[in-house]
């Protein structure tokens, strides 16, 4: 089905099931330990062996020699596999560095060998016996030092690296009020609860993997490419995933190394990355340096806005597109953005929850706070004055729906923003200085083609099958709600099957496109099934109603179970969005508010309250959507106050590679979070009239915390995270 915008009235609009705060249907499996995660699939294939990956001990250089004889002779060892005896394996185009390295080394902890043994412990012990002689070379590990050699990269998924409208330099020079400031964000790591893990099994030239992956079709494509086999010969299963945040968008070394090892020793091989391995072996959010210039007239209208961003990646990698939201967020006739990419020999930089906006707004929304202060304006009002209803770079292109102003006003009112003292350091509570800060939230709304198959059986049970994934976001539940609404059945009559490459190809989970796109695909398949059912019942498709397990037309109703019969009925379709993105600028919006205390003795920052209002189209499930937003606000608070993957500049690796040293917020760090969704329906986004919401909550929240810290104590920090050493 091609989506014709705007969406017309359709059965989703009944909102009998969709839009209700339904508990997650996978929740009981996850909380009772019965959801089968990849590494726990002892049941799926017999005779599984354990693989343990050895990572490179250098970041840049080559292996002069590797001696695996002692490891191969160790107890329980089946085989030791390196690039020398692995057989042919190609680097998939979509992956930057080789997932099986050697003899050239591209980054620290790049996989160079896998030991296969009868137990995990035997494999791990034997891996310590491998002797590697390295020739270390000089690498580039410091973004500040590499900045001057950064170049304009090729246009990527986010478009041209540079944009320019009007005369930025002239307007900035003439503006009566200006800001020119540079902000930095550090490398950050995803830290999902479930480490990357795969069981690989070869049978007659066909590869089956049970893995933890966000994008099933990409995994299938890349495994086929790696091993030179047709995509039909690859079966990928990933029904439960303990978090991804972008680290599992593409296959990583666990999948390639398990498959390589299994092929080499003729046994299924099970591999998990250890927690420390995830930091340097997989991907991370790259550090950025961002220069922002804003010029405004005395009334606070932005006349010039410029945002330049520098980041680094391995050769062939991608930039962090931190300047991109500045193309769309605020009005202003004269504008420029520029994205530059340096070569760094750190592990691969890649997408982490809200790539682009998350670090971009960490900078832009402090800059907006600084400008508001220079103008003597309230920061909420300054943003409202500079709202735009069209893409400021392409004024003929309207937003599909944009209620930034509503979010800011509603968020401010709910938070009690009017009680804030504009002057920093004005509020004391014992030894604490207390302050309030705010920031806008903005995240693009991407739509992706998504397919599903929906069937009904003789018991009236509706089964949905799609290769969509649930990375902890609630996909199972909103898909079940969609099918229940469309087919007129109760939630307990819907079975949802996800994460299997034998099912129709979906949008997958990434870039907050999954919720809206995958449910729209289920909607399309349900429309097709409703047509089949109506036809079989002898009804005119345009005049039927699906409710209470029956299809009704006029005064005649037939049970779905009877129509399905012994054979059952099913239909498959997908939603396609065509050139929707050309017609409308699509994005989600919000306003973040935070109150912090700064300890006058130690400089410790505690968040005391946080809240926000968010506009993201129709909210399909307020309960799971709220969970997404509070989780993202928590993650953004971590970005503000603690997350920092520290680079050892001598050896080129992240030093703090475990959760003891790489700090993320815990319950005690996070106060009550007030989340309000603007009542909104975006009929230009999909038949669901929904948009993405999984990443919106992290966008801007770190700046709201940073602005609250400034308001509390008058110290303006432009270098994240805001650790106490920077405050005293
Ligand atoms: Mo998201 S960073 O695209 O999983």
Give distance in angstroms: CA of 534 to centre of ligand 1.
Answer: 40
Atom from ligand 1 closest to the CA of residue 244? 4
Q: Whose CA is nearest to atom 4 of ligand 1?
A: 246
Does residue 320 contact residue 288 with C-beta atoms inside 8 Å? yes
pLDDT of res. 509: 98
Cα–Cα distance measured from residue 358 to residue 343, given in angstroms and rounded to the nearest whole number: 22
pLDDT tens digit sequence for 673-688: 999 999 999 999 999 9
Mapped onto helix, strand or coil, the DSSP state of residue 487 is helix
pLDDT of res. 265: 95
pLDDT band at 541 (very low <50, low <70, confident <90, very high): confident
Tell me the backbone φ, ψ of residue 110, rounded to 5 degrees: -60, 135
Closest of 213, 192, 314 to residue 256, by C-alpha: 213
pLDDT tens digit sequence for 225-263: 999 999 999 999 999 999 999 999 999 999 999 999 999
Give distance in angstroms: CA of 141 to centre of ligand 1.
Answer: 25
Give distance in angstroms: CA of 190 to centre of ligand 1.
Answer: 10
Cα–Cα distance measured from residue 280 to residue 487, given in angstroms and rounded to the nearest whole number: 47
Decide the pairing of beta strands 462-465 and 494-497: parallel
pLDDT tens digit sequence for 8-59: 999 999 999 999 999 999 999 999 999 999 999 999 999 999 999 999 999 9
What is the average per-residue pLDDT within 485-502?
Answer: 98
Q: Is the peptide bond before 125 cis (omega within 30 degrees of 0)?
A: no
| Whether the complex's predicted ipTM surpasses the cut of 0.90 | yes
Domains of the chain: 11-35+448-576 (3.30.365.10)
Owner of token pair 């966008």: 699
Give distance in angstroms: CA of 541 to centre of ligand 1.
Answer: 39
pLDDT tens digit sequence for 333-388: 999 999 999 999 999 999 999 999 999 999 999 999 999 999 999 999 999 999 99
Give distance in angstroms: CA of 551 to centre of ligand 1.
Answer: 40
Cα–Cα distance measured from residue 436 to residue 707, given in angstroms and rounded to the nearest whole number: 7
Per-residue pLDDT at 586 exceeds 80:
yes
Among 370, 643, 680, 695, the active-site one is: 695
Per-residue pLDDT at 157 exceeds 80:
no
pLDDT of res. 158: 75
What is the average per-residue pLDDT within 272-284?
Answer: 98
pLDDT band at 726 (very low <50, low <70, confident <90, very high): very high
Contacts of 130 (CB under 8 A, 6+ apart): 54, 66, 67, 68, 70, 71, 80, 113, 115
Cα–Cα distance measured from residue 383 to residue 658, given in angstroms and rounded to the nearest whole number: 39
Atom from ligand 1 closest to the CA of residue 245? 4
Q: How far is CA 314 from CA 39, 43, 139, 346, 348, in A?
A: 29, 39, 11, 7, 6
Would you call 320 a catalytic residue per the annotation?
no
Atom from ligand 1 closest to the CA of residue 694? 1
Q: How many CA atoms lie within 13 A of 665 on its CB side?
A: 22
Q: Among 241, 249, 349, 469, which is best to mutate for testing ligand 1, by the most ligand atoms less than 8 A from CB? A: 249
pLDDT of res. 560: 98
Tell me the pLDDT of the chain averaged across its residues: 97
Cα–Cα distance measured from residue 242 to residue 193, given in angstroms and rounded to the nearest whole number: 6
pLDDT of res. 414: 98
Cα–Cα distance measured from residue 296 to residue 620, given in angstroms and rounded to the nearest whole number: 39
pLDDT band at 100 (very low <50, low <70, confident <90, very high): very high
What is the average per-residue pLDDT within 306-322?
Answer: 97
DSSP state of 576: B
pLDDT of res. 330: 98
Atom from ligand 1 closest to the CA of residue 246? 4
pLDDT of res. 542: 86
**Using a 6 Å CB cutoff, which residues line ligand 1?**
214, 244-246, 249, 351-353, 355, 510-511
pLDDT band at 156 (very low <50, low <70, confident <90, very high): confident
- Helices vs strands, H then E, count in the chain: 17, 29
């Amino acid at each position: 089905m091609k989506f014709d915008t705007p969406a017309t009235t359709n059965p989703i609009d009944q909102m009998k099931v969709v839009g209700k705060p339904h508990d997650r249907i996978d929740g009981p499996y996850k909380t009772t330990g019965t959801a089968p995660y990849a590494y726990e699939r002892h049941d799926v294939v017999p005779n599984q062996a354990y693989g343990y990956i050895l990572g490179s001990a250098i970041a840049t250089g080559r292996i002069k020699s590797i001696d695996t004889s002692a490891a191969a002779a160790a107890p329980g060892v089946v085989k030791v596999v390196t690039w020398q005896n692995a057989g042919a394996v190609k680097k998939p185009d979509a992956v930057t560095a080789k997932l099986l390295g050697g003899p050239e080394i591209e980054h620290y902890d790049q996989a160079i060998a896998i030991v296969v043994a009868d137990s995990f412990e035997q494999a791990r012990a034997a891996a310590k016996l491998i002797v590697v002689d390295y020739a270390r070379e000089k690498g580039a590990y410091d973004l500040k030092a590499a900045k001057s050699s950064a170049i304009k990269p090729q246009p990527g998924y986010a478009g041209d690296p540079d944009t320019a409208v009007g005369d930025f330099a002239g307007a900035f020079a003439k503006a009566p009020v200006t800001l020119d400031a540079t902000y930095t964000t550090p490398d950050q790591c995803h830290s999902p609860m479930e480490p990357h893990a795969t069981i690989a099994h070869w049978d007659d030239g066909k590869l089956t993997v049970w893995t933890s992956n966000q994008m099933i079709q990409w995994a299938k494509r890349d495994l086929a490419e790696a091993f030179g086999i047709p995509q039909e010969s690859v079966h990928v299963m990933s029904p439960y995933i303990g978090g991804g945040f972008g680290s599992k968008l593409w296959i990583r070394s666990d999948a390639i190394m398990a498959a390589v090892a299994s092929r080499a020793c003729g046994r299924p091989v099970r591999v998990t990355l250890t927690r420390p391995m995830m930091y340097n072996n997989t991907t991370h959010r790259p550090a950025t340096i961002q220069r922002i210039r804003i010029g405004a007239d005395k009334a606070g209208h932005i006349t010039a806005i410029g945002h330049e961003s520098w980041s680094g990646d391995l050769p062939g990698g991608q930039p962090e597109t931190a300047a991109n939201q500045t193309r769309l967020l605020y009005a202003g006739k004269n504008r420029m953005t520029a994205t530059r990419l340096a070569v760094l020999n750190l592990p691969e930089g890649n997408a982490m929850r809200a790539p682009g906006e998350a670090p971009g707004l960490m900078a832009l929304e402090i800059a907006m706070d600084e400008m508001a202060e220079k103008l003597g304006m309230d920061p909420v009002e300054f943003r409202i004055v500079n709202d735009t209803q069209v893409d400021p770079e392409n004024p003929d292109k309207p937003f599909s729906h944009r209620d930034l102003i509503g979010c800011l006003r509603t968020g401010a009112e709910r938070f009690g923003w009017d009680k804030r003292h504009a002057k920093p350091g004005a509020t004391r509570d014992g030894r604490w200085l207390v302050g309030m800060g705010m920031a806008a939230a903005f995240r693009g709304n991407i739509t992706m083609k998504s397919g599903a198959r929906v069937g009904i059986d003789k018991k009236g049970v509706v089964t949905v099958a799609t290769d969509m994934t649930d990375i902890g976001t609630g996909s199972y539940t909103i898909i079940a709600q969609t099918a229940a609404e469309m087919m007129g059945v109760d939630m307990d009559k819907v079975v949802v099957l996800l994460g299997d490459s034998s099912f129709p190809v979906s949008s997958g989970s990434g870039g907050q496109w999954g919720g809206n796109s995958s449910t729209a695909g289920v909607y399309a398949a349900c429309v097709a099934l409703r047509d089949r059912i109506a036809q079989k019942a002898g009804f005119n498709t345009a005049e039927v109603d699906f409710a209470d397990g029956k299809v009704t037309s006029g005064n005649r109703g037939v049970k779905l179970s009877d129509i399905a019969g012994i054979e059952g009925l099913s239909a498959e379709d997908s939603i396609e969005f065509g050139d929707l993105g050309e017609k409308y600028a699509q994005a989600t919006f919000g306003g973040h508010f935070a109150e912090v205390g700064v300890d006058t003795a130690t400089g410790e920052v505690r968040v005391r309250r946080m809240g926000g209002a968010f506009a993201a189209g129709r909210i399909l499930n307020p309960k799971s959507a709220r969970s997404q937003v509070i989780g993202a606000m928590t993650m953004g608070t971590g970005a503000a106050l603690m997350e920092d993957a520290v680079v050892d500049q001598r050896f080129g690796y992240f030093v703090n590679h475990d959760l003891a040293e790489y700090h993320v917020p815990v319950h005690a760090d996070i106060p009550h979070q007030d989340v309000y969704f603007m009542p909104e329906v975006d009929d230009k986004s999909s038949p669901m009239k929904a948009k993405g919401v999984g990443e919106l909550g992290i966008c801007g929240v770190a700046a709201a915390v940073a602005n609250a810290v400034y308001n509390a104590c008058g110290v303006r920090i432009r270098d994240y995270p805001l650790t106490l050493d920077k405050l005293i």
